[in-house]
Structure 1
């Protein structure tokens, strides 16, 4: 069994020279160490059932452990030795994560929870935010006395300086305590003490404001108290996911570490915690068996822990294709590569383990690489100079399905050839329906290919790790602007690839006004408008903080059941549950009212 995932095999084959390029490092979550000259390292997730010391001896720098999933970094040339450890089942390259109140709080009926009786505003509960970071100086995250509600801030991208340290148990980034933040707030220049800054467009600050901002600053021509978040009295822990340049926000390994860290800190304080992650990526089986999803499931299930994931914004992105192939038949799945596409493109195709396909790639000029049979790999160059690697994997150890991973890069050419390409699928032996699903990984704006009709499909577009068994995923609907009450066209759709209903619920996410980082243009304006499922998810996370204030012993499963049972349906949602709205529109008041019954579960 091949233990390295296709990305890692691609990296091993590509050689150190290509790994120095910024585009490749951003796409694959790489960092370059210079301790012994140039020694490229890759961040990985390892499925391992034995003694972690064996991993260390093989060269893995362990960062965190979540059940049988270990995160860490390792030199590229040591990856083959890592796979020789008997207790290592699978090694997955860290993948780049990408970004997925006035009217909204009222629409979700959270305002009724605030007023009560009894009033619930999230006091004593931790809201964890895994995102780009947060402007910790923003008034919305302070108490009445001016001190910060942010208990901890872990910036994964910083290197410790002076007396700074990384969090205990993690060997990277800088951790700032509440005392550090308060000292910074009292200083003339806060950023000389706490160096963290959110980066434009201040995605993390905006998300934090929706979940837990108190709206204490006036703005947008409105008085203080207008743009109040869902849990405005909650404590906050921020993890700034390690930056990956233009490609995305951080990696899947860093994300698992971040969630693990927040739950550990909450447990040490005997507080319930809900973690919001408005991030995701398109690769993987979309059935909950990726290593990130397995790791997250290991962290959930116990009382006082909850996790919320944005469904994603791929509803209209044309990044998913699906169809059926009959025995002896051929299906041509076409995609368009835009002009100026200079970054590596990745396509992830999955089909049932009982079927057998043969796969080729055809460039716009009709040149063919392949066909590639099950168990084989083909690395070739087209006449244009573009390079492709087709890795056709036999049955995956975690779900028994087959996988075709295509990596397409400029190669010797200046860019990937513009025009219509074809993934050609031949049905060799078909036991079931011959069904396949394929996804295109996200990338830099304007450089991402798109699938074409007739196989492009909006279903099964919820981003990874949204298919985890324990996951609460959130779709996005409109409360301001054109079409109020309707689902946003960009909101990702379910179901999961193994047929489970998703998303869980929908929440307001279009044209949401929330906290703006560092008060940039226009000068002094503390709020801004943003939209997407990234903005919908923190409405649910804030609601769960209100639930935890009512009953801090609730489990993820109990909370999910309450959210589903209490969700509202209307003419826009149609009959629920369905694969666009899940159980319907979030009703925070009804969800909190459902909570006392959980004491009897």
Structure 2
């Protein structure tokens, strides 16, 4: 909502849900987001939909008659995750279903949104280094591994996803943005539909897929680009990641399609007898309440104790902001300010969670940006939510045209007597010039946690005890789930010179301690329950990858300055021109680097579990900041090392004579059965003859040759370790080759 005048009148309507749904919420049978959706439906505020059915998660009692319940409430089971079901049901039947004594819980929450920074930039380049700024292992390409991308904005005909023969590597794609969902499982179907239904306004999924599993391509300047697992099978699922007030969105307004997509991918991989790693470069805010308990149970059922399965999640881009305030029990009054921003493209709504005691009073002031003028005030006692009988609590202040509606939901009552209350305004975007001042008064501890999507907290020095915000705690969900492999962002290339005379410099936004350290926006732990996250980091600044070439002109103009080059290919998109390459920044980009790396590892060991992958990460990751203990809440275990991880899987780390580092300034080229090491000698380079050694993965020295070339025609097909010795640290090291 645009504000025409700063001095406006503030009307806050505290919209509790109806008594029936409020009682169900208090008992934990309905999640808060679902309660809010029902309240909107009952009050006629939710946008009309051609189909009033929504997908929700539910859990039944052990002896429930599922068939009878389905007939009684008209729901259809879409998928099973152990004891958790995803069902499709008319929204008008949800409250009655939840009230049934055979139902343990009914849950649906806000869909995640993409984790991509979109700060203003000018990115144009004629020559770009490879995605990760280091040499990838030559031995493994993700062959016979399934890489799943759950995202949006897919270009199905992009040459980034074709093999050397021009055949698509996308095995199938499913579009959950359509009702019902549409699956394209043949080359003809993919070629005919060309892109996902959101491809006019979204490009994120294409870029992410290119990083994780893009094929080798060349730009119009003959610069090569290649994703990590460049021979993996690709499967894609388009879900709603728009984030534009999804509670009012009549099309796929819940996060259930994310789970359906992941299950479909793992089921496919199992049928193909292949391992599978799924990338999810999106997320939503954590919460003190257990709003997503069924979702987390479903996620765990997909990967826990399941060899050859893993889910990689972006940590989020909220590292520059604070979201948690703690009021100690020694203070009678404390609080924080809430500011609004749109830097992640999600809009500026109010979403704040409070953990308070029953006798504590919550005061909400709507103020100007300096916290010097109050436009409206409302106070709330937790007991009011329990005692509300008419479904609404109202307070009108003054007169005017500006409306602010605050929905208060009692999410949970904890064992120690605390109330978990979620305050939200899902109806309007707040002006970035306005502020909310939250104050909790009364004996006992209290916490305020702001929604990481768009409403960070800030200290207010002018108010006593309102400068208590805490660093960290800005990790998103499902990045916070222990069984997910959560990825932060390392900055390795902050400046990118453009081919049209312009350039981008991300240093003012992302440069912290320097090159090779955490990008400033990368979200940090701990989680709200105190666990260390992320698990690992990877490069995520100025990452070049594929672009969805079906974006409409208005969005294309918005992205034109981030276009790096065009692909040198005979194929052209339907709208003319060349397929473009795009540079982007965020944990959305670092996550698929880890996804592709895990695909390489799974090719070497298809039985890897999440636990095994985390052990590899812990044992082999590079530790950027030596001032910190590891794991920590900035880097997890450090920056992922694809090569060293492969060496551990293959046991090469135990071979005497093979170093565990790839040479920084040497490259290896395999032409037929001749292997050549290439490097430029420097003045410090010793005059001694370089030497190449070839080892089997069981530790045997097979071949030795003085010089930079060696003939491997006597070796059978397989994987081998190559050691280059030059006497110079920069050009000495090892790599893996596959014959």
Check if 1:213 corresponds to 2:214: yes
Deviation at residue 79 of structure 1 after TM alignment: 2.0
The C-alpha deviation readout for 1:477-529, integer Å capped at 9, x for no partner, is 11111342121111110011111111001100011001111276564253110
Give unpaired runs (5+ residues) of structure 2: 1-26, 116-127, 247-251, 368-373, 460-466, 495-506, 508-513, 551-555, 564-576, 653-739
The answer to whether the 8 Å contact 1:45/1:292 transfers is yes
Equivalent position of 1:570 in the other structure: 624
The answer to whether the 8 Å contact 2:153/2:201 transfers is no
The answer to whether the 8 Å contact 2:177/2:197 transfers is no
Q: Mean Cα displacement is larger for which, 6-15 or 207-216? A: 6-15
Q: Distance in 2 between matches of 1:194 and 1:449?
A: 33
Equivalent position of 2:409 in the other structure: 391
Equivalent position of 2:370 in the other structure: none
The C-alpha deviation readout for 1:566-596, integer Å capped at 9, x for no partner, is 1101347743221011111111111222224
- Correspondence list, 1:291-370, <5 A: 291-301=294-304, 302-318=306-322, 320-326=323-329, 329-337=332-340, 345-349=349-353, 351=355, 357-364=360-367, 365=374, 367-370=376-379
Q: Distance in 2 between matches of 1:98 and 1:407?
A: 18
Pick the aligned partner of 1:7 from 17, 20, 33. Answer: 33
Pairs aligned (count): 540
Q: Distance in 2 between matches of 1:344 and 1:380?
A: 23
Q: Distance in 2 between matches of 1:435 and 1:329?
A: 10
Find the residue that maps to 1:494 and give its secondary structure. coil
The C-alpha deviation readout for 1:394-437, integer Å capped at 9, x for no partner, is 4369x9974111122568xx967962222222344x3xxx2524
Distance 1:235 1:58, change over 3 A: same
Answer with 1 or 2: which has the greater Rg. Answer: 2
Q: Distance in 2 between matches of 1:67 and 1:358?
A: 41
Distance 1:583 1:338, change over 3 A: closer
The answer to whether the 8 Å contact 2:533/2:636 transfers is yes
Q: Mean Cα displacement is larger for which, 245-254 or 458-467? A: 245-254
Deviation at residue 200 of structure 1 after TM alignment: 4.0
Find the residue that maps to 2:167 and give its secondary structure. coil
Pick the aligned partner of 1:271 from 247, 271, 274. Answer: 274
- Correspondence list, 1:105-184, <5 A: 105-107=132-134, 111=136, 113=137, 115=138, 119-159=139-179, 172-181=180-189, 184=191
The answer to whether the 8 Å contact 1:54/1:85 transfers is no
The structure with the largest helix share of the pair is 1
Equivalent position of 2:640 in the other structure: 586
The C-alpha deviation readout for 1:344-378, integer Å capped at 9, x for no partner, is 834242548x9974433222226432322256366
RMSD over equivalenced CA pairs, Å: 3.3
The answer to whether the 8 Å contact 2:354/2:449 transfers is yes
- Correspondence list, 1:25-174, <5 A: 32-34=49-51, 40-50=52-62, 51=64, 52-53=66-67, 55-56=69-70, 57-100=72-115, 102-107=129-134, 111=136, 113=137, 115=138, 119-159=139-179, 172-174=180-182
Distance 1:105 1:271, change over 3 A: same
Distance 1:268 1:227, change over 3 A: same
Check if 1:478 corresponds to 2:484: no
TM-score by length of 2: 0.67
The answer to whether the 8 Å contact 1:153/1:238 transfers is yes
Equivalent position of 2:689 in the other structure: none
Deviation at residue 66 of structure 1 after TM alignment: 1.5
Distance 1:326 1:264, change over 3 A: same
Deviation at residue 105 of structure 1 after TM alignment: 3.1
Distance 1:342 1:138, change over 3 A: closer
Equivalent position of 1:25 in the other structure: none
Equivalent position of 1:240 in the other structure: 238
Distance 1:561 1:316, change over 3 A: same
Find the residue that maps to 2:206 and give its secondary structure. helix
Check if 1:509 corresponds to 2:540: yes
Pick the aligned partner of 2:522 from 481, 491, 500. Answer: 491
Distance 1:84 1:20, change over 3 A: closer
Distance 1:287 1:103, change over 3 A: farther
Equivalent position of 2:649 in the other structure: 595
Find the residue that maps to 1:7 and give its secondary structure. helix
Distance 1:199 1:552, change over 3 A: farther
Equivalent position of 1:408 in the other structure: 425
Equivalent position of 1:420 in the other structure: 435
Q: Distance in 1 between matches of 2:253 and 2:147?
A: 20
Q: Distance in 2 between matches of 1:407 and 1:574?
A: 37
Q: Distance in 1 between matches of 2:455 and 2:603?
A: 45
Distance 1:251 1:530, change over 3 A: farther
Distance 1:280 1:197, change over 3 A: closer
Check if 1:252 corresponds to 2:252: no
The answer to whether the 8 Å contact 2:56/2:254 transfers is no
Distance 1:584 1:435, change over 3 A: farther
Find the residue that maps to 1:564 and give its secondary structure. helix
Find the residue that maps to 2:310 and give its secondary structure. strand
The answer to whether the 8 Å contact 1:155/1:242 transfers is no
The C-alpha deviation readout for 1:156-198, integer Å capped at 9, x for no partner, is 1234xxxxxxxxxxxx31111133357x2xxxxx43x776563
The C-alpha deviation readout for 1:515-572, integer Å capped at 9, x for no partner, is 1112765642531101100000001100110111011011111111111221101347
